Amino acid sequence: MKRTIRDADVAGKRVLLRADLNVPLKDGDVADDTRIRAVLPTITYLRDRGAMVAVCSHLGRPSGPDPTYSLTPVARRLADLLGCTVPLMPDCVGEPVLRAVKAMNREDVILLENTRFHPEEEANDTAFAKALAAGFDVFVNDAFGAAHRAHASTEGVAHLLPAYAGFLLEKELAVLGRLLAKPERPFLAIVGGAKVSSKIGVLRALAERVDVLAVGGGMGSTFLAANGTQVGRSLREADREGEARAIAAALAKRGGELVLPVDVVVAPSADAAGAASARTVGVDAIPADLMVVDVGPRTLEHYQRAIAKAKTILWNGPVGVFEVPRFAAGTRRVAELLARANATTVVGGGESVQAVEELGLTDRMTHVSTGGGASLELIEGKTLPGVAAIPDL
C-alpha cells in the first residue's frame, strides 16, 4: 500500500502536484473536463489543510514550446471548477516560476505550463527533475493516466521530494487491484479496439483470470481469422493469429469461455462514406470486398447474456468503429448493458470511457478509469514507474 496525502503534513507547505490534465481541446476551450474534475478532491484536500499547490501536467505531444498545446484553456477551466484564480505560469521550470512559487500564500493554486515543452521531461532527465522540484516541499502524484511513464514529472521528482499518492491514484490502484486479486465471479472481460498487437499482454493476463472473455472490434477479426473465418478486407493482423489461438487455448484450459462475434456489420470502408452501404451479415458470410465495422445484433445478445450472469465486468475498447456514428451502435449498446448490470463494472480507459461519458452513464458504473495505457499495464502485471517511486506505508 502506497502512502497517500492523508499521511502527509502539508500545512504551510509548497506542494508540487502532478495531475493528468491531458484533455481534449476544441476551439480554444476544454472539450471534456473529466480528467480535471478527477483531480479536484486532491486539490481541495491540500488547500483545506493550508498547502500551496502548483499543478503540473503534460498536454499532447508537442516538439518543443507550441501555443497549440498550451495549458491556457485548462487553467481557465480549473479556475472555474475551483472557484478561485489559477494563474498559468509561462513555463514549468526557471526563475520566473521559482519566484512565483516562493510568493504563494496558503490555499493558492497555480498551474505550470506543459511539461512536454521540454524534451528532458520524457527523457526523465535528472537536471530537469531537479529544476521542476525546486522550491517545493512535497510531491503528490495524482496522474494515474501517466503513471506508466518514467518521466521527470512522474518518476524523477518522486526521488527528490517526499512523495505521496493523491486520491485519484489511490482509488485507481485500489479498484484495479481488487479486480485482479479477488474478483467476484463469474468475471467477464470485454476487450475491443483495433489491434491484438496493442493488447497482447493484457489478453494473455486476462485469459489466466477471467471466466468469460468477449473480443470485439478490429481485433475480433484477427481472432475470427485465426479460426479459419474469411474476414474480407477487415483490419486483420495475420502475424498475430497464432497469439490469438494461444490465448483461446489458455482460456479453454482453465474452463473459460471465449465469446467471438457471430454476426457483424460490414461496409466498403470504415469511414462515414461507407455508412450508407453498411449491412449486417453472419461471420460465415463476410463478403470478400467488405470489412467488419461493428458487431451485429446476435453478437450483442451473446454479450447481454454474459453480462447478465457476470458479477465482475472489465470493459476496455470499442467493439466497432466508434468514431463513425453508424458504426457505434455496438459500443453504445455495451455501455447501456453495463449500466444496468448487477455487477462490479470497471471501464478501463480509451474510447470505452468516451462512450460511457457521451451517454451520460459514468455514474452508473462502479469505476471509470482515467488511465487507458496505465490501466492496461497494471492489468498485464507490469510495474508502473510513477507508482513504484512512491514509498510504501
Share of the chain above pLDDT 90, in %: 87
134 and 283 fall within a common domain: no
- The catalytically annotated residue of 195, 309, 311, 382 is 195
Mean pLDDT of 236-253: 95
260 and 360 fall within a common domain: yes
138 and 228 fall within a common domain: no
Q: Is the pLDDT of residue 78 over 80?
A: yes
294 and 372 fall within a common domain: yes
150 and 276 fall within a common domain: no
21 and 151 fall within a common domain: yes
Per-residue confidence at 32, pLDDT binned at 50, 70, 90? Answer: confident
pLDDT at position 278, please? 96
334 and 370 fall within a common domain: yes
155 and 191 fall within a common domain: no
pLDDT at position 128, please? 98
Asked, for residue 390, whether it belongs to a domain, the answer is no
Reference 191, options 310, 349, 357; nearest CA is: 349
Phi, psi of 369, rounded to the nearest 5 degrees: -75, 145
Which residues, at least 6 apart from 292, have a Cβ–Cβ distance to it below 8 Å? 218, 220, 221, 231, 232, 234, 235, 261, 264, 265, 266, 286
Asked, for residue 352, whether it belongs to a domain, the answer is yes
Phi, psi of 344, rounded to the nearest 5 degrees: -75, 120
325 and 267 fall within a common domain: yes
Last residue of a domain, one of 116, 144, 169: 169
- Cα–Cα distance between 45 and 354 in angstroms, integer? 28
- Cα–Cα distance between 237 and 224 in angstroms, integer? 11
Tell me the residue type at 24.
P
Asked, for residue 276, whether it belongs to a domain, the answer is yes
**Rounded to two decimals, what is the model's pTM?**
0.91
Q: Locate cell 461496409: which residue?
A: 267
246 and 294 fall within a common domain: yes
Q: Is the pLDDT of residue 350 over 80?
A: no
pLDDT at position 370, please? 83
Look up the domain containing 78 and give its range. Answer: 5-169
- Cα–Cα distance between 295 and 331 in angstroms, integer? 9
- Cα–Cα distance between 88 and 112 in angstroms, integer? 6
Instruction: Tell me whether residue 195 is one of the annotated catalytic residues.
Output: yes
Domain count, the chain: 2
Asked, for residue 162, whether it belongs to a domain, the answer is yes
Per-residue confidence at 335, pLDDT binned at 50, 70, 90? Answer: very high
Which residues, at least 6 apart from 339, have a Cβ–Cβ distance to it below 8 Å? 345, 356, 359, 361, 364, 365
- The catalytically annotated residue of 2, 13, 14, 35 is 35
Q: Is the peptide bond before 186 cis (omega within 30 degrees of 0)?
A: yes
CB 82 within 8 A of CB 109: yes
CATH code at 188?
Answer: 3.40.50.1260
Q: Locate cell 455496438: which residue?
A: 330
Mean predicted lDDT score pLDDT of the chain: 95
DSSP 68: G
Please classify residue 28 by burial: count the beta carbons closer than 10 Å to its beta carbon, then call 0-12 exposed, 13-18 middle and 19+ buried: exposed
Last residue of a domain, one of 124, 140, 169: 169
Tell me the residue type at 182.
K
Asked, for residue 391, whether it belongs to a domain, the answer is no
368 and 235 fall within a common domain: yes
241 and 164 fall within a common domain: no
- Cα–Cα distance between 212 and 224 in angstroms, integer? 17
Asked, for residue 385, whether it belongs to a domain, the answer is no
How many CA atoms within 13 Å lie on the side-chain side of 179? 31
Last residue of a domain, one of 116, 143, 169: 169
pLDDT at position 171, please? 95
Instruction: Tell me whether residue 350 is one of the annotated catalytic residues.
Output: yes
Asked, for residue 265, whether it belongs to a domain, the answer is yes
Instruction: Tell me whether residue 35 is one of the annotated catalytic residues.
Output: yes
Asked, for residue 18, whether it belongs to a domain, the answer is yes
Q: Locate cell 505531444: which residue?
A: 61
Q: pLDDT tens-digit profile of 39-54? A: 999 999 999 999 999 9
- The catalytically annotated residue of 193, 274, 349, 350 is 350
CB 54 within 8 A of CB 17: yes
Using alpha carbons only, what angle is made at residue 255 by residues 253 and 257, rounded to the nearest 5 degrees?
105
Q: pLDDT tens-digit profile of 173-226? A: 999 988 888 899 999 999 998 888 888 899 999 999 999 999 999 999 999 999
* Largest separation between any pair of C-alpha atoms in the chain: 69
